[in-house]
Amino acid sequence: MAEVKLTKLTNDNVRALRETMSSEQAAKVRLTATTAVFEMSAEEAAIMVSYLQSQAAQDHGATGHPYKSLTAVRRKLEALEASETSATASTPFSPTAQKAPEALAELLRLDSNE
pLDDT per residue as tens digits for the range 62-78: 888 999 999 999 999 99
Q: Which pLDDT band, with edges at 50, 70 and 90, does 40 fall under?
A: very high
The β-bridge relationship of strands 29-31 and 36-38 is antiparallel
Entry pTM? 0.74
69 vs 109 pLDDT, higher one: 69
**Mean pLDDT computed over 30-50:** 96
Phi-psi region of 80 (alpha: psi -120 to 50; beta: other; left: phi over 0): alpha
Q: Are 48 and 110 in contact (CB under 8 A)?
A: no
Torsion over CA: 106, 83, 63, 67 (sign): positive
Sequence-distant contacts of 24-28: CB under 8 A, at least 24 apart: 24/106, 24/107, 24/109, 24/111, 25/52, 25/107, 25/111, 28/107
